[in-house]
Amino acid sequence: MKYDIIVLGSGPGGYVTAIRASQLGFKVAIVEKENLGGICLNWGCIPTKALLKSAQVFDYLKHASDYGLTVKEFDKDFSAVVQRSRSVADGMSKGVQFLMKKNKIEVINGYGKVKPGKKVEVTDADGKVSELSADHIIIATGARSRELPNLPQDGKKVIGYRQAMVLPEQPKSMIVVGSGAIGVEFAHFYNSMGTKVTIVEFMPTVVPVEDEDVSKQFERSLKKAGIDVMTNSSVEKVDTSGNGVKATVKTAKGEEILEADILLSAVGIKSNIENIGLEEVGIATDRDKVLVNKYYQTNIPGYYAIGDIVPGQALAHVASAEGILCVEKIAGLHVEPLDYGNIPGCTYATPEIASVGLTEKAAKEKGYEIKVGKFPFSASGKAKASGASDGFVKVIFDAKYGEWLGCHMIGAGVTDMIAEAVVARRLETTGHEIIKSVHPHPTMSEAIMEAAAAAYDEVIHI
């Protein structure tokens, strides 16, 4: 069983890589131990967005009177909400199955391990072992929820994101440890459904990777929604011996005991690099990551790695881009290394967060003289008409050359707006070019133009 390319893992890195390789004329096989589409499609990006959509509709019903509507009776069916999410994920996984057939990619179900000599050993569900070989082997095994020693997950009272997606019944209270994208998205979902939620964050601000203005605005939004937020705090230990969870939290004021039905650990991810044969092949790793060059080649010829297991942002769209670049390089095409400074990040809570490039603080630390523009959605006609006026667009330009250094948004629908900044930055667009590009009115996206105008003291609507 000889192939040109074998891909280990079928997440948004793996399956996209396989399809692009097939388009380039390679004979391709993909090895998957669970479901096509990987974590993102089955247990991450897609089903969480389905849950969040249900939460949004429920919020609309709760605030129907704000829109001049009267809804006398409504309620939620938590199990039906979860089932809808699973149905969306299942449908998308079947879509990937179709794409595999369409592109003549052989899908091999089982647990894969790389072997020396450009081979992959696959053990199926019945324990049967087979061996494949290829000229090129691309490892895309992704990541899982990280477990801290003081927060061991039992899957029932102390859970990770997978269990949070399919709880058999809605908890009355929940502690969320970590306020990155995963933590705050689940915090928002459960809070919207009626669960009492407390977020515990080790850093001084929530969503700590974001611009400070965004973090502050988001914390205000969380508290306004009724979510308790504890920053500069850490969970030291948990006690699950009773009916629920007792968490000992270390704060600046001393220790505090929090009680809840469930504790969700959202403290990051752990790369899936164990027990896949890396040591036997001699593939170099460092600090939980496979070491690769700018074309994703490992130190062993014929072996490559992409996605969450290599350095860089652990995001679905990054994994896809890395995989495409990797196979195009193998095919001999001219490719440019990925610009990790121009990767958009999105958080899908309410309000949404989207950003790309340098924060204001990082720009100053790099020595730039900057121009900063900010446009609040409270001044946006579309936002006011939509009943979603919380948030703003913030842009940062280099004062000397007009280079667009960073863009940071918080508000309704901003995850669908950030691509303008990504493309403009890649094309080296200046602030003045954004100002002079006519944006449609009334839209949320015209706030980008207005923010750019604010940076140059030309803003009209504030």
Which H or E element spans position 460? none
Among the listed residues 136, 334, 441, 461, the single catalytic one is 441
Backbone angles phi, psi at 74, to 5 degrees: -160, 155
pLDDT of residue 290: 98
Residues within the annotated binding site? 49, 112, 178-185, 201, 268, 308
Q: Which residue stretches of 118-195 are H helix?
A: 161-165, 181-193
pLDDT (tens digit, 9 = 90+) per residue, 82-93?
Answer: 999 999 999 999
Cα separation, 25 vs 320, in Å, equals: 19
Radius of gyration of the chain (CA): 23
Taking the C-alpha atoms of residue 148 and residue 268, their distance in angstroms, rounded to an integer, is 10
Token readout for 400 is 């000397």
Same topology, domains 2-144+270-340 and 158-267? Answer is yes
Q: Whole-prediction pTM value?
A: 0.94
CATH 2.60.40.10 for domain 2-144+270-340, yes or no, is: no
Question: What mean pLDDT comes out for the span 91-102?
Answer: 94
Q: Is 440 exposed, middle or buried (0-12, 13-18, 19+ CB in 10 A)?
A: exposed
DSSP 97: H
pLDDT of 38 strictly over 90: no
Give the confidence band of 45 by pLDDT, cuts at 50, 70, 90. Answer: confident
How far apart, in Å, do the first and last CA atoms of the chain sit?
66
User: Over the chain, what is the mean pLDDT?
Assistant: 95
pLDDT given at position 35? 86
Distance CA(99)–CA(93), nearest Å, equals: 10
Residue 351 has pLDDT above 90, yes or no: yes
**Which CATH architecture does the domain made up of 351-455 adopt?**
2-Layer Sandwich (3.30)
Give residue 276's identity as a one-letter amino acid code.
I
Q: Write the pLDDT tens digit of every residue in 207-231.
A: 999 999 999 999 999 999 999 999 9
Q: How far apart are CA 254 and CA 101, in angstroms?
A: 59
Instruction: Round to whole Å and give the CA distance between 356 and 421.
Output: 7
| Helix, strand, coil fractions of the chain, as percent rounded to 5 | 35, 25, 40
Q: Reduce the DSSP state of residue 22 to 3 states and report it.
A: helix
Active site residue 441: yes
Q: Which two tokens stand for residue 268?
A: 């990051």
**Averaged pLDDT, 28-37:** 93
Q: What's the CA dihedral at 207, 211, 213, 218 to 10 degrees?
A: -20
What is the rounded CA–CA span in Å between residue 303 and residue 116? Answer: 10
Yes or no: is domain 158-267 CATH 3.30.300.180?
no
Kindly list the domain boundaries of the chain, sorted by start residue.
2-144+270-340, 158-267, 351-455
Mean local confidence (pLDDT), 313-327: 97
Q: Which helix (H) or strand (E) holds 386?
A: helix 381-386
The tokens for 459 are: 């803003």
Binding annotation for NAD(+): 178-185, 201, 268
Binding residues for FAD: 49, 112, 308
Which residue's structure tokens are 């040109």? 4
Two tokens at 197?
A: 């939620």
